[in-house]
Chain A
Amino acid sequence: MHYYRAHVLVCAGSVCVTSGCRAVKEAILEGITRHQLEEEIKVVETGCMGFCELGPLVVVYPEGVMYCRVKVEDAAVIVNEHLLKGRIVKHLLYQDPNTRKTVTLMKDLPFLSKQTKVAMRNAGLINPEDIEEYIAGEGYLALAKVLSSMSPEEVIIEMKKSGLRGRGGAGFLTGLKWEFTAKARGTQKYVVCNGDEGVPGVFMDRSILEGDPHSVIEAMAIAGYAVGADQGYIYVRAEYPLAVEKLRHAINQACEFGLLGENILGTGFNFEVNIRVGAGAFVCGEETALLASIEGRRGEPRPRPPFPANEGLWGKPTLINNVETLSSVPPIILKGGAWYASMGTEKSKGTKVFALTGKVNNTGLIEVPMGIPLKEIIFDIGGGILNNKKLKAVLAGGPVGGFIPAEHLNVSMDYESLAALGTLIGSGSLTVIDEDTCVVDLVKFFVEFCHEESCGKCTPCRIGTKRMLEILERITRGEGKDGDIEALEVLCDYIKNTALCGLGQSAPNPVLSMLRYFRPELEAHVRDKHCPASVCAFLFDSPCQNTAEGGVR
């Protein structure tokens, strides 16, 4: 084995690719060649490191020095200074916007403080295209463990012990889902990985698929063993071409290594994984719609029961878990369910990945123990509100979620506490909004999203969301009238109680949350024809009334 003096990790997550990391990598390689350092320094393309806003990111090990927003012309500097002479390139280091202090080492980033990586343990650290790097970090050890020393029942017991809940949004106990599928009658069963991540601004699944595809593949094989399936499908949206590419490569490698296919590790267990690329409809994240889509039918939810555990893909028992859920499985098997359950709260165990976006200094993907106070996420990890503005609320759950107003900033981030506030963990979207954000306008945006993404099958979602949107559009145009708020309330209640699928039932959530926490702001729009945040263009005199000191009109 060849030992290198230094490793240069170049983040090649989708965002960094977009901001030009490939050219940076080429430039670094060119510099290395120029100085004949090929034998001493290895350049590795990794998956997403999580701080997408700072990309392209380059981290130099063994020190772990992180360079941000690296441009092609910076590559030569990094090679000449750091790699050749051992001098850190100060102007490329991260600078905390609040304290103005520079951070040299990646591990010292405030963004990484209070994070615990389980699902995202490998993303950004290993080369996703090299199965050996995954194996080196205990990869496929969990699969070997279950195949060699655990019965399917024991695997399910361990999963139940972990308390892991589905990370796709519904939060159903994963171990229980495995048990239902295992107990379902039928010889042919399937394991399906739901990679149809569709909430705007949320991309942890993409990040895992791109940065650590083997963790998902390994988990699917473990699940297959536990429920008695020999066939797996990964459903990925077509908007994630990089994820598809990495997965394809990873599946081929796993097959070559005998970790997929027939007689895995000589245990007689067979498991095969296929990729299905979806056309990117939000509703295909709903499990019955996803199954329809895999079968080649129109991606629409159907009523449950029958649940997929009993009648799923082509009518056969099917286990469906999302990417983040699956990638947490191997560590649970290796370290035990009790270890995972030691993190989090009584009913919400383990860690959860959130996509932190909006008016916060550090945006990106974070993985934290369940039950962490929201305040720590926003201020310790997120570095506080952008431009020192006042926090207005955090919207959790994206277009089907609800607000956590500033007064509830200490809320424990777990399924139950968020439900009590009328919102949800969902797929892990956290959007920070400040005083300049108009809640009505934002809610209108989310309702528009749900309306656009409605499959059109049931009346409440198809027509109900349209009418809801039309009322909000009128209100933000200054054409709100008496009774509009009540009409919205009735409609929300109806859609929530009557829609066919979970997505339809959740579509009114942002409106209901607005009615609960920001009713005066909505009333100001309807009654006073005034937008307090000066966002709705028809409803204020001058855009500077809020931005300029003193409220000049």
Chain B
Amino acid sequence: MPMVTLTIDGKEVQVEQGTTVLEAAKKVNINIPTLCYLKDINVVGACRICVVEVKGARTLQAACVTPAAENMVVLTNTPAVRASRRMTLELILSNHPFECPTCVRNKNCELQSLAEAFGIREVRYSGANPVHVMDDSSVSIIRDPDKCILCRRCASVCEKVQTVSAIGPQGRGFDTVIAPGVDMVLAESNCVNCGQCVLVCPTGAIYERDQTEEVWAALADPQKHVVVQTAPSVRVAIGEMFGMEPGSVATGQMVAAIRKLGFDKVFDTDFAADLTIMEEGSELLERINNGGILPQITSCSPGWVKFIEHFYPTLLPHVSTCKSPQQMFGALAKTFYAEKAGVDPADIFSVSIMPCTAKKFEAQRPEMNASGYQDVDVALTTRELGRMLKQAGIDFNELPEENYDDPLGVSTGAAVIFGATGGVMEAALRTVYEIVTGNTLASVDFVDVRGMEGVKEATVKVGDLDVKVAVAHGLGNARKLLDALQAGEANYHFIEIMCCPGGCIGGGGQPIPTNYEIRQKRIDGIYTADEAMVLRKSHENPAIQQLYKEYLEKPLGHKSHQLLHTKYTSRGQSNQL
């Protein structure tokens, strides 16, 4: 790549051609403020907060979209630049409700931070604000367009990363609003509830549906037996809500903290993840041995499931019939566990802590009632759990570690890696290999399927068979695999798809910020947690073995089909619950 040399605030800097002034400035330790910019995803120069002076240019230039050029002279901190940035902030604020203390993003808002940094004490301009109706139609995500600053990050993520394009700018000029369509609400759209929009929103214009009050009410109800499950990726992210480094494995503190909230039992979704491997692995073997439809595609990720229901309904027979771990857990909690604990399932209130906004939708799918009740009553996000812990005044960081309750709290390392892209695949391979060959794996680490590359492929020799697998994360990458599949160019046996970039550790319910670096650190945390486990293969989970012995009999057996498997809905462009 050819290099260019430019001067930024008097300092010479050499960068690759095509580098923006914004990126070049970082090299001389200058962080130009941004609002709309999202590296590689939303590079539109819309908000104008990042303007700089470029010698010879007629106007101020937006650093995020201005390519560095040879001999360019850039000034990032002049009276004109500061005045312009202040005015941009003041104008945005003149069009923004002053509701900071009651806003979901209070103290974690990029607009608020900039206003603070610029010392905005008054807004010189005032006038009409567009008044939009809050969209609370979706069970997962709420849109509050009045707080939207039209940075377009949400729309770009939805379009470019997820290739869903459920939301985008509607209307024009001052009346522009980011919405699913003219006069359309989210629940009617093809939104898959992934919540990537929530993660990138700089303000509080789009956020998760808060269900903490429902959980508080259940906890306060003496009639209710409240159980909770925590998803694999929550343990490596929840600490961030309490100032821990991203990727810190905080399983023990989290269990202790949740127990302090008053839950009757603290269980682990990882238990159900091990169970999923038993069912899904068996399903794969059955498909391979009996000429079933291949490749089989994973079904753990509810955003992904809704995506294929909307966009590739003809490929639904490829999707494993296994419920996601959340829903397997839910079905067992009100049957197997209720029986075992001698609790009336009608009194059980089942909560899940998920990295995911789509899990809220999944929990409410009408078919998710195998126990005779709604299997999971409330799915909370990591962020909602964080808020509950803060409300309860729990000193998270200093808590002595505690363990999950038996038996639905016993799990293996294979389950915890469900939280990262490639993890379900790796867990399945660990089990399928040993069940088919009867041999013990020399190394349980299938590193080819790990990491942030969009689409990963591997071939694993299992007995006589070369098992060909592929892994995609982020729906844009999933689409590539599905297109190849439709074109007859995907000769895989098994495909893992996770809706969110990086897998569940980058889910729409995770702490904000969630960016590329933080995703990477959480993935590292996931594999650290895996390595720390004594058991690292699902079929070795003694609680699972016990479950089959006592209750389910065998994978894909009658009870399994009743409780642990599901079917899908072919959806059009508009939503049908």
Contacts and interface: CB of A to CB of B under 8 A. Distances in A.
B169 A467 contact: no
Contact of B48 (A302, A453, A454, A460): A460
Contacts of A465: 174
B91 A460 contact: yes
A456 B84 contact: no
Interface stretch (B62-70, B191-199, B201-209, B388-396): B62-70
A470 interface: yes
Nearest to A494: B87
B125 A458 contact: no
A192 interface: no
Contacts of B44: 302-303, 457
A500 interface: yes
Interface residues of B, number: 37
A491 B87 CA distance: 8
Contact of B59 (A453, A456, A498): A498
A498 B173 contact: no
Contact of A455 (B124, B149, B168, B173): B173
Interface in A443-478: 451-460, 462-467, 470
* Residue from A298, A460, A491 whose CB has the most chain B CB atoms within 10 Å: A460
Contact of B88 (A305, A459, A496, A505): A459
Contact of A498 (B65, B67, B87, B171): B87
Given A454-B172, A459-B48, A303 B65 contact: yes
Contacts of A303: 44-45, 62, 65-66
A462 B174 contact: yes
A496 B83 CA distance: 13
B282 interface: no
Nearest to B149: A459
Contact of B95 (A455, A457, A463): A463
A470 B67 CA distance: 36
A463 B66 contact: no
B91 A464 contact: yes
A462 B169 CA distance: 13
Contacts of B149: 459
A270 B125 CA distance: 56
A95 to B, nearest CB: 45
A490 interface: yes
A500 B175 contact: no
Interface in B53-101: 59-60, 62, 65-67, 80, 83-84, 87-88, 91-92, 94-95
A458 B46 contact: yes
B46 A505 contact: no
A388 interface: no
Contacts of A470: 127-128
Interface in A479-521: 487, 490-491, 494, 496-500, 505
A299 to B, nearest CB: 9
Contacts of B87: 460, 490-491, 494, 498
A458 B45 contact: yes
B62 A463 contact: no
Contacts of B94: 463, 467
B106 interface: no
Contact of A453 (B62, B84, B152, B173): B173
Contact of A456 (B48, B49, B91, B175): B175
A505 B171 CA distance: 21
B150 interface: yes
* Residue from B59, B128, B149 whose CB has the most chain A CB atoms within 10 Å: B59
Given A454-B172, A454-B174, A456-B173, A500 B88 contact: no
Contacts of A499: 48, 59
Contact of B91 (A463, A497, A500): A463
A260 interface: no
B172 A500 contact: no
Contact of B173 (A454, A467, A490, A497): A454
B80 A497 contact: yes
B190 to A, nearest CB: 18
B191 to A, nearest CB: 19
B195 to A, nearest CB: 24
A257 B128 CA distance: 58
18 contacts: A302-B44, A303-B45, A451-B173, A456-B175, A456-B176, A457-B44, A459-B46, A459-B47, A459-B48, A459-B88, A459-B91, A460-B48, A460-B87, A465-B174, A491-B87, A491-B125, A498-B60, A500-B46
List 7 tightest A-B contacts by C-beta distance, closest first.
A456-B176, A454-B173, A470-B127, A303-B65, A463-B91, A303-B45, A467-B125
